[in-house]
Copies of this chain bind each other. A is one copy, B any other.
């Protein structure tokens, strides 16, 4: 499920507050991004058509829900980003991101923990 820039904006909103009605999306993105209602409607329609969203008309109300999991889209987008910018090599990407990002102490700690967990897994598979 390849999402464009604008589509990510819509999907992020819907993932965050499902199920969502058109009016909410229009209200949120209209003021936040300066999109006209017509534009938002087009995005929603296209996302439904490409299978990223799902509409249910419960009673007389229409609601949008995500039809694809955010994690899948994130995975796909990350892979594509790594591929195009870093030739698929995660390590330089990570180094770059760490260098150029502000990270709080707790975030740093969490990352360090993950790295430690990964190291021990490396050791295991070596044995």
- A-side residues, CB < 8 A to B, are 5, 8-9, 12, 73-75, 77-78, 80-82, 84-87, 90-91, 93-105, 107-108, 110-112, 114-115, 118-119, 122
Count copies of this chain in the complex: 2
What is the chain B residue whose CB lies nearest that of A71?
B96
Partner of A100, one of B78, B108, B115: B78
What is the chain B residue whose CB lies nearest that of A8?
B84
CA distance A84 to B9 in the complex (A): 7
Question: How many Å from the CB of A109 to the closest CB on chain B?
Answer: 8
Q: Is B78 within 8 A of A96, CB to CB? A: yes
What is the chain B residue whose CB lies nearest that of A90?
B101
